[in-house]
């Protein structure tokens, strides 16, 4: 492709709409433009990246035995009402009415649709197993779209759905997808980690996420790794074992109210009472589906909302507004404690707290705390469970290694759905004995538009993008420093024709721009290999080859460029 014949609107200045480096580079490099919050136009370069990545995804999915279909973006609401998710997915689901006033939704995922499809058609175990996938636009009306393609409202996703007769068969299908995912990301130049994750609104038994680890702030999720074994889980899910629990008193002491003037935060209370935060227990008030609930965790820990939500079996959970806190504690915010809370209010106590003795809690009274409090003697727990974020440095749940935190970007996920959808929607088959059984299902996603941005977040330098070659929009960029000059033009055209004839994707910068502009744009858009045509080398009948990722310049004879290009491309990631 010639630069002057395509559309690559690079920008010299930064755009104010982008926070993340990858988002900024995609905008400046002329890959994307925003139409509305979280809704983007893919320009020619992005279109090519999407095509390249999609092709890899298709090839590997097909290789694994999955079959491609395409399902609609617009769905009748009834199908979602059947599975019950119409009431649980929340406002992310975009809803609208058609001209007949029928309730419709925009698909944010397709479990319901694929189950609807197969329940009428797949009736025998002989037709199983089956894996259907599609590469399709999804729409999720995110509360707060941000980070460009990373959290858009409209995006492209590869989603696959497996149908199996039993657990064993399902595990084979699941493992095939996991293998395919590693193959896909590897081909795209991305080293990913498979981590355990919460199943969220998807439901089902277990789930994994495929994470690209990044050093930048582009990481959207914290992942806990074991430094010894291969345990890895995202922070929502990660568990741990405590290495050195603080010492516990032998005797249970008498509880006592103490005045704590102007001390409502953990820092203030620890400073005032001159104790360690590990002696304090925070009582946090949340609204679980609108009803108040208390969570008790050690003073130095972070509450894990996902874990708490799962404990409470809630669909929606949010921190209680001050008015609610004041109502249940009968005192100003900052002094909540477990004693004398309303009787019907659930109190979830963290594992660690259940092992503590004589700890300090809020007094449910202004500027008052209570010391030497003990579980069971002084208050009751509705449940004792792990409800905190696994802290870095604590022990791995599976071995004696230590947990390490890293930032990651989720590029794929796999869910073990079990029979959640097949049962609720009556999707059943007859087994060999003639018994009716629901399908065992799995669902598997890959972000087709977010993965390339994740790649940019991972592979860039101060001048621009450094695309992994298999998802780069072009493999080679030919830069004649002065295209108006006959010798430059002639050499450029000759090389261009030769590469094109050999099916090497190649971009010819035929603009009447100065060298500096071309170099800077080339750095920005990140084509893996660059051929520079200028007087210096041309005098000796040569051109210069340079990889985007390195400094090394290779000289090649004009007649020998194809071989040199092929050789260099072999060596590039």
The span from the CA of 133 to the CA of 412, in Å, is: 14
The span from the CA of 397 to the CA of 243, in Å, is: 11
Residue 559, classified by CB atoms within 10 Å of its CB into exposed (0-12), middle (13-18) or buried (19+), is exposed
**Binder of RNA out of 443, 449, 451, 453 (CB under 7 A):** 443
**β-pair partners for 208:** 196, 414
Which residue lies nearer to RNA by CB, 55 or 95?
Answer: 95
**Binder of RNA out of 263, 295, 481, 499 (CB under 7 A):** 481
Q: Does 49 bind RNA (CB under 7 A)?
A: no
Stretch near RNA under the rule CB under 7 A, chosen from 171-179, 197-205, 338-346, 368-376: 197-205
Which residue lies nearer to RNA by CB, 119 or 548?
Answer: 548
The span from the CA of 559 to the CA of 500, in Å, is: 15
Q: Does 149 bind RNA (CB under 7 A)?
A: no
Shortest Å, Cβ 486 to RNA: 13
**Binder of RNA out of 30, 38, 129, 412 (CB under 7 A):** 38
Closest CA to 278 of 241, 256, 248, 307: 248
CA atoms lying within 13 Å on the CB side of residue 444: 25
Which residue lies nearer to RNA by CB, 69 or 555?
Answer: 555
Q: Does 151 bind RNA (CB under 7 A)?
A: yes
Stretch near RNA under the rule CB under 7 A, chosen from 143-151, 323-331, 341-349, 556-564: 143-151
SS3 365: coil
Which residue lies nearer to RNA by CB, 19 or 436?
Answer: 19
The span from the CA of 524 to the CA of 134, in Å, is: 32
Q: Does 14 bind RNA (CB under 7 A)?
A: yes
Is residue 393 within 8 A of residue 297, CB to CB? The reply is no
The span from the CA of 292 to the CA of 264, in Å, is: 21
The span from the CA of 518 to the CA of 546, in Å, is: 14
Q: Does 317 bind RNA (CB under 7 A)?
A: yes
Helix, strand, coil shares, percent, the chain, to 5: 30, 30, 40
Which residue lies nearer to RNA by CB, 442 or 452?
Answer: 442
Tokens encoding 49? 């990246």
Which residue lies nearer to RNA by CB, 361 or 440?
Answer: 440
Q: Which 328-347 positions form the footprint of RNA (CB under 7 A)?
A: none
Tokens encoding 256? 């006592």
User: Helices 450-458 and 21-28, interaxial angle, to 10°?
Assistant: 110
Which residue lies nearer to RNA by CB, 79 or 533?
Answer: 533
Q: Could you give phi then psi for residue 477, rounded to 5 degrees? A: -115, 125
Shortest Å, Cβ 551 to RNA: 9
Stretch near RNA under the rule CB under 7 A, chosen from 337-345, 382-390, 423-431, 480-488: 480-488
Shortest Å, Cβ 225 to RNA: 19
Q: Does 486 bind RNA (CB under 7 A)?
A: no
**Binder of RNA out of 17, 98, 227, 249 (CB under 7 A):** 17
Tell me which residues touch RNA (CB under 7 A): 10-17, 19, 34, 36-38, 89-90, 92-93, 108-109, 140, 142-147, 151, 200-202, 220, 305-306, 309, 316-319, 413, 443, 445, 463, 481-482, 484, 514-517, 519-524, 532-538, 544
């Amino acid at each position: 492709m010639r630069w002057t014949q395509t559309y690559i609107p690079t920008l010299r200045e930064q755009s104010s709409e982008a926070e993340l480096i990858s988002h900024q580079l995609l905008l400046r490099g002329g890959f994307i433009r925003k139409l509305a919050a979280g809704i983007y136009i893919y320009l020619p370069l992005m279109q090519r990246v999407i095509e390249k990545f999609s092709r890899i995804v298709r090839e590997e999915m097909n290789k694994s035995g999955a079959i491609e279909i395409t399902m609609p973006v617009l769905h009748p609401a009834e199908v979602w009402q059947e599975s019950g998710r119409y009431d649980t997915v929340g406002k992310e689901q975009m809803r609208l009415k058609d001209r007949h006033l029928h309730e419709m939704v925009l698909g944010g995922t397709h479990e319901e649709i694929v189950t609807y499809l197969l329940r009428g058609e797949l009736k025998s175990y002989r037709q199983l197993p089956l894996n259907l996938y599609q590469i399709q636009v999804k729409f999720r009306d995110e509360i707060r779209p941000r980070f460009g393609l990373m959290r858009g409202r409209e995006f492209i996703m590869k989603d696959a759905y497996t149908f199996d007769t039993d657990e064993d068969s399902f595990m084979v299908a699941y493992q095939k997808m996991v293998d395919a995912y590693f193959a896909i990301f590897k081909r795209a130049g991305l080293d990913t980690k498979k981590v355990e994750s919460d199943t969220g609104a998807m439901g089902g038994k277990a789930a994994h996420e495929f994470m690209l680890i990044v050093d930048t702030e582009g990481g959207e999720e914290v992942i806990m790794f074991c430094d010894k074994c291969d345990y890895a889980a995202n922070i929502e899910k990660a568990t741990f074992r405590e290495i050195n629990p603080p010492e516990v008193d032998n005797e249970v002491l008498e509880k006592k109210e103490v005045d704590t003037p102007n001390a409502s935060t953990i820092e203030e209370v620890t400073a005032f009472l001159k104790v360690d935060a590990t002696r304090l227990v925070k009582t946090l008030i949340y609204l679980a589906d609108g009803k108040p609930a208390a969570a008790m965790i050690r003073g130095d820990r972070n509450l894990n909302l996902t874990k708490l939500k799962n404990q409470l079996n809630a669909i929606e959970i949010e921190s209680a507004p001050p008015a609610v806190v004041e109502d249940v504690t009968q005192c100003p915010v900052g002094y909540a404690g477990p004693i004398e809370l309303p009787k019907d209010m659930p109190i979830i106590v963290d594992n660690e707290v259940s092992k503590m003795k004589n700890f300090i809690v809020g007094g449910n009274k202004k500027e008052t705390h209570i010391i030497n409090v003990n579980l069971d003697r002084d208050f009751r727990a509705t449940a004792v469970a792990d409800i905190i974020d696994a802290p870095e440095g604590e022990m791995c749940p599976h071995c004696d290694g230590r947990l390490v935190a890293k930032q990651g970007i989720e590029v794929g996920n796999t869910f073990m759905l079990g029979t959640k959808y097949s049962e609720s929607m009556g999707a059943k088959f007859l087994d060999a004995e003639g018994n009716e059984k629901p399908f065992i299902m799995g669902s598997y996603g890959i972000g087709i538009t977010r993965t390339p941005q994740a790649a940019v977040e991972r592979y860039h330098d101060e001048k621009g993008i450094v695309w992994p070659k298999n998802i780069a929009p072009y493999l080679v960029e030919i830069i004649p420093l002065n295209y108006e000059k006959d010798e430059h033009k002639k050499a450029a055209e000759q090389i261009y024709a030769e590469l094109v004839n050999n099916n090497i994707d190649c971009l010819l910068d035929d603009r009447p721009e100065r060298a500096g502009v071309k170099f800077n744009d080339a750095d920005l858009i990140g084509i893996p290999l660059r051929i520079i045509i200028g007087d210096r080398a041309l005098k000796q009948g040569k051109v210069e080859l340079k990889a985007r990722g390195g400094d090394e310049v290779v000289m090649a004879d004009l007649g020998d460029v194809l071989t040199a290009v092929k050789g260099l491309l072999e060596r590039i990631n």
